[in-house]
Protein backbone atom coordinates (compact mmCIF):
# COMPACT_ATOMS: atom_id res chain seq x y z
CA UNK A 1 0.00 0.00 0.00
CA UNK A 2 1.41 3.35 -1.08
CA UNK A 3 1.06 6.39 1.17
CA UNK A 4 1.90 10.07 0.63
CA UNK A 5 1.51 13.30 2.60
CA UNK A 6 -0.28 16.32 1.20
CA UNK A 7 -0.99 19.80 2.66
CA UNK A 8 -4.49 21.24 2.82
CA UNK A 9 -6.11 24.26 4.44
CA UNK A 10 -9.51 24.68 6.04
CA UNK A 11 -12.15 26.40 3.92
CA UNK A 12 -14.84 28.54 5.51
CA UNK A 13 -16.59 29.75 2.36
CA UNK A 14 -18.80 27.36 0.41
CA UNK A 15 -21.01 27.50 -2.66
CA UNK A 16 -20.49 27.79 -6.41
CA UNK A 17 -19.44 31.45 -6.29
CA UNK A 18 -16.78 30.81 -3.66
CA UNK A 19 -15.52 27.76 -5.56
CA UNK A 20 -15.12 29.77 -8.78
CA UNK A 21 -13.08 32.41 -6.93
CA UNK A 22 -10.79 29.72 -5.51
CA UNK A 23 -10.18 28.19 -8.94
CA UNK A 24 -9.40 31.61 -10.36
CA UNK A 25 -6.59 31.88 -7.78
CA UNK A 26 -5.12 28.46 -8.66
CA UNK A 27 -6.81 26.58 -5.80
CA UNK A 28 -9.21 23.63 -5.76
CA UNK A 29 -12.13 23.16 -3.35
CA UNK A 30 -12.27 19.78 -1.61
CA UNK A 31 -14.10 17.95 1.14
CA UNK A 32 -13.40 15.12 3.61
CA UNK A 33 -16.21 12.86 4.64
CA UNK A 34 -16.23 9.57 6.49
CA UNK A 35 -17.74 7.32 9.08
CA UNK A 36 -19.05 9.20 12.16
CA UNK A 37 -17.60 12.58 11.22
CA UNK A 38 -18.94 15.84 9.91
CA UNK A 39 -17.81 16.74 6.37
CA UNK A 40 -14.86 19.12 6.40
CA UNK A 41 -14.35 21.68 3.61
CA UNK A 42 -10.78 22.16 2.39
CA UNK A 43 -8.69 24.08 -0.12
CA UNK A 44 -5.90 22.44 -2.14
CA UNK A 45 -3.16 23.98 -4.27
CA UNK A 46 -3.91 23.08 -7.89
CA UNK A 47 -0.30 22.96 -9.11
CA UNK A 48 0.86 20.79 -6.20
CA UNK A 49 -2.06 18.40 -6.63
CA UNK A 50 -1.47 17.97 -10.36
CA UNK A 51 2.18 17.14 -9.71
CA UNK A 52 1.16 14.54 -7.13
CA UNK A 53 -1.37 12.89 -9.45
CA UNK A 54 1.31 12.49 -12.11
CA UNK A 55 3.27 10.25 -9.73
CA UNK A 56 0.64 8.11 -8.02
CA UNK A 57 -2.37 5.92 -8.70
CA UNK A 58 -4.83 7.88 -6.60
CA UNK A 59 -7.39 5.05 -6.41
CA UNK A 60 -4.97 2.86 -4.43
CA UNK A 61 -2.84 5.44 -2.60
CA UNK A 62 -3.51 6.55 0.96
CA UNK A 63 -3.18 10.33 1.20
CA UNK A 64 -2.29 11.70 4.62
CA UNK A 65 -3.79 15.19 4.60
CA UNK A 66 -2.07 17.71 6.83
CA UNK A 67 -4.85 20.09 7.85
CA UNK A 68 -3.58 22.81 10.20
CA UNK A 69 -1.17 20.36 11.81
CA UNK A 70 -3.73 17.58 12.18
CA UNK A 71 -3.21 14.46 10.05
CA UNK A 72 -6.11 12.65 8.39
CA UNK A 73 -5.60 9.36 6.53
CA UNK A 74 -7.76 9.49 3.42
CA UNK A 75 -8.27 8.14 -0.06
CA UNK A 76 -9.55 10.11 -3.04
CA UNK A 77 -13.08 8.99 -3.81
CA UNK A 78 -13.81 11.31 -6.70
CA UNK A 79 -12.06 13.81 -8.93
CA UNK A 80 -14.53 16.11 -10.64
CA UNK A 81 -13.10 17.48 -13.89
CA UNK A 82 -14.23 20.08 -16.41
CA UNK A 83 -15.90 18.20 -19.30
CA UNK A 84 -13.83 20.00 -21.95
CA UNK A 85 -10.70 21.48 -20.34
CA UNK A 86 -10.28 18.42 -18.04
CA UNK A 87 -8.89 20.55 -15.20
CA UNK A 88 -9.86 19.44 -11.69
CA UNK A 89 -12.91 21.23 -10.27
CA UNK A 90 -13.39 19.44 -6.95
CA UNK A 91 -11.93 16.58 -4.89
CA UNK A 92 -13.80 14.24 -2.54
CA UNK A 93 -11.72 12.51 0.15
CA UNK A 94 -12.90 9.62 2.32
CA UNK A 95 -11.34 9.35 5.76
CA UNK A 96 -9.98 5.89 6.55
CA UNK A 97 -10.63 4.13 9.84
CA UNK A 98 -8.41 1.24 10.95
CA UNK A 99 -10.24 -2.08 10.85
CA UNK A 100 -13.07 -0.68 8.73
CA UNK A 101 -13.05 -2.06 5.18
CA UNK A 102 -13.48 0.17 2.15
CA UNK A 103 -14.22 -0.50 -1.50
CA UNK A 104 -11.65 0.54 -4.10
CA UNK A 105 -10.70 -0.24 -7.69
CA UNK A 106 -7.30 -1.85 -8.15
CA UNK A 107 -5.51 -2.17 -11.52
CA UNK A 108 -4.56 -5.54 -12.96
CA UNK A 109 -0.96 -6.20 -14.03
CA UNK A 110 -0.57 -8.80 -16.78
CA UNK A 111 2.57 -10.85 -16.19
CA UNK A 112 4.41 -12.92 -18.81
CA UNK A 113 3.95 -13.55 -22.53
CA UNK A 114 1.14 -15.99 -23.48
CA UNK A 115 2.15 -19.23 -25.26
CA UNK A 116 -0.46 -18.33 -27.85
CA UNK A 117 1.44 -15.14 -28.63
CA UNK A 118 4.93 -16.67 -28.66
CA UNK A 119 4.07 -19.80 -30.65
CA UNK A 120 0.61 -19.31 -32.11
CA UNK A 121 0.79 -15.84 -33.67
CA UNK A 122 -1.94 -14.51 -31.41
CA UNK A 123 -2.34 -11.28 -29.46
CA UNK A 124 -3.52 -10.67 -25.90
CA UNK A 125 -6.84 -8.82 -25.75
CA UNK A 126 -7.30 -7.29 -22.27
CA UNK A 127 -11.02 -6.89 -21.56
CA UNK A 128 -10.84 -5.97 -17.85
CA UNK A 129 -8.03 -3.79 -16.49
CA UNK A 130 -9.12 -3.32 -12.86
CA UNK A 131 -11.07 -5.08 -10.13
CA UNK A 132 -13.56 -3.68 -7.63
CA UNK A 133 -12.52 -4.96 -4.20
CA UNK A 134 -13.31 -4.70 -0.50
CA UNK A 135 -10.27 -4.44 1.75
CA UNK A 136 -8.88 -3.02 4.98
CA UNK A 137 -7.11 0.30 4.24
CA UNK A 138 -3.86 -1.12 5.60
CA UNK A 139 -3.91 -3.91 2.99
CA UNK A 140 -4.80 -2.05 -0.19
CA UNK A 141 -2.66 -3.63 -2.96
CA UNK A 142 -1.03 -1.35 -5.54
CA UNK A 143 -2.08 -3.85 -8.22
CA UNK A 144 -3.09 -7.49 -8.68
CA UNK A 145 -0.94 -9.77 -10.84
CA UNK A 146 -2.47 -11.89 -13.61
CA UNK A 147 -0.16 -14.65 -14.94
CA UNK A 148 -0.95 -15.12 -18.65
CA UNK A 149 2.08 -17.29 -19.56
CA UNK A 150 0.17 -20.51 -20.28
CA UNK A 151 -2.69 -18.88 -22.20
CA UNK A 152 -3.25 -20.51 -25.62
CA UNK A 153 -4.91 -19.11 -28.76
CA UNK A 154 -8.67 -19.13 -28.35
CA UNK A 155 -8.47 -19.44 -24.57
CA UNK A 156 -9.42 -16.86 -21.94
CA UNK A 157 -8.87 -16.07 -18.27
CA UNK A 158 -11.67 -15.12 -15.90
CA UNK A 159 -11.77 -13.29 -12.58
CA UNK A 160 -12.11 -16.63 -10.78
CA UNK A 161 -8.74 -17.71 -12.27
CA UNK A 162 -6.81 -14.86 -10.63
CA UNK A 163 -4.87 -15.36 -7.41
CA UNK A 164 -6.27 -12.76 -5.01
CA UNK A 165 -4.15 -11.49 -2.08
CA UNK A 166 -5.16 -12.46 1.44
CA UNK A 167 -7.65 -10.10 3.05
CA UNK A 168 -9.02 -8.93 -0.30
CA UNK A 169 -12.59 -9.68 -1.43
CA UNK A 170 -13.43 -9.21 -5.11
CA UNK A 171 -16.86 -7.68 -5.68
CA UNK A 172 -17.03 -8.29 -9.45
CA UNK A 173 -18.67 -11.32 -11.10
CA UNK A 174 -16.21 -14.28 -10.89
CA UNK A 175 -17.24 -15.30 -14.42
CA UNK A 176 -16.11 -11.99 -15.91
CA UNK A 177 -13.55 -12.41 -18.72
CA UNK A 178 -10.27 -10.64 -17.98
CA UNK A 179 -8.38 -11.40 -21.18
CA UNK A 180 -8.38 -13.67 -24.23
CA UNK A 181 -5.67 -14.73 -26.70
CA UNK A 182 -6.91 -14.26 -30.26
CA UNK A 183 -5.59 -14.32 -33.84
CA UNK A 184 -5.33 -10.76 -35.25
CA UNK A 185 -8.03 -9.93 -37.82
CA UNK A 186 -5.47 -8.84 -40.42
CA UNK A 187 -3.96 -12.33 -40.25
CA UNK A 188 -7.26 -14.19 -40.39
CA UNK A 189 -8.59 -12.20 -43.36
CA UNK A 190 -6.00 -13.37 -45.98
CA UNK A 191 -6.66 -16.98 -44.94
CA UNK A 192 -10.33 -16.55 -45.69
CA UNK A 193 -9.50 -14.95 -49.03
CA UNK A 194 -7.25 -17.88 -49.89
CA UNK A 195 -10.09 -20.32 -49.29
CA UNK A 196 -12.29 -18.42 -51.72
CA UNK A 197 -9.56 -18.39 -54.37
CA UNK A 198 -9.00 -22.11 -53.99
CA UNK A 199 -12.67 -22.82 -54.59
CA UNK A 200 -12.85 -20.70 -57.76
CA UNK A 201 -11.22 -23.25 -60.18
CA UNK A 202 -14.28 -25.48 -59.79
CA UNK A 203 -16.24 -23.19 -62.13
CA UNK A 204 -14.49 -24.23 -65.42
CA UNK A 205 -16.24 -27.62 -65.16
CA UNK A 206 -19.44 -25.81 -66.13
CA UNK A 207 -17.94 -24.14 -69.19
CA UNK A 208 -19.86 -24.79 -72.36
CA UNK A 209 -19.28 -23.66 -75.86
CA UNK A 210 -20.63 -20.18 -75.52
CA UNK A 211 -22.26 -18.21 -78.26
CA UNK A 212 -20.28 -15.12 -79.30
CA UNK A 213 -22.87 -12.89 -77.62
CA UNK A 214 -22.36 -14.70 -74.22
CA UNK A 215 -18.60 -14.29 -73.79
CA UNK A 216 -18.45 -10.79 -72.32
CA UNK A 217 -21.53 -11.39 -70.19
CA UNK A 218 -20.19 -14.65 -68.71
CA UNK A 219 -16.91 -13.05 -67.75
CA UNK A 220 -18.69 -10.11 -66.19
CA UNK A 221 -21.01 -12.23 -64.04
CA UNK A 222 -18.34 -13.90 -61.91
CA UNK A 223 -17.39 -10.79 -59.90
CA UNK A 224 -21.04 -10.35 -58.92
CA UNK A 225 -20.99 -13.81 -57.32
CA UNK A 226 -17.82 -12.91 -55.44
CA UNK A 227 -19.46 -9.78 -54.10
CA UNK A 228 -22.40 -11.75 -52.80
Indicate the domain borders of the chain: 2-97, 103-185
Residue 79 has pLDDT above 80, yes or no: yes
Residue 122 has pLDDT above 90, yes or no: yes
**What pLDDT is stored for residue 189 in this prediction?**
54
Q: What is the rounded average pLDDT of the residues 129-134?
A: 96
Indicate the SS3 state at residue 38.
strand
pLDDT in tens, 34-74: 877 789 999 999 999 999 999 988 888 999 999 988 899 99
Distance, CA of 213 to CA of 223 (rounded, Å): 19
Which CATH architecture best describes the domain 2-97?
A: Beta Barrel (2.40)
pLDDT in tens, 190-202: 555 555 444 444 4
Q: Percent of the chain, pLDDT > 90?
A: 62
Domain covering 103-185, topology = RNA Polymerase Alpha Subunit; Chain A, domain 2 (2.170.120)
Higher-pLDDT residue of 144 and 57 is 144
Distance, CA of 57 to CA of 158 (rounded, Å): 24
Among 135, 76, 133, residue whose Cα is nearest residue 106: 133
Q: Are 181 and 124 in contact, with CB atoms under 8 Å apart?
A: yes
pTM over 0.95: no
Distance, CA of 43 to CA of 30 (rounded, Å): 6
Amino acid sequence: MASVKFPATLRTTVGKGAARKLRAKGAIPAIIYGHKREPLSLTLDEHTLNKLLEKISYTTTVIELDVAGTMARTIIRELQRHPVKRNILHVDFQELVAGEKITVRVPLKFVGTPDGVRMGGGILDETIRELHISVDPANIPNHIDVDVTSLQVGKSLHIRDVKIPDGVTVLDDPAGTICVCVIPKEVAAPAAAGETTAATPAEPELIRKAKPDDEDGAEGAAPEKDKK
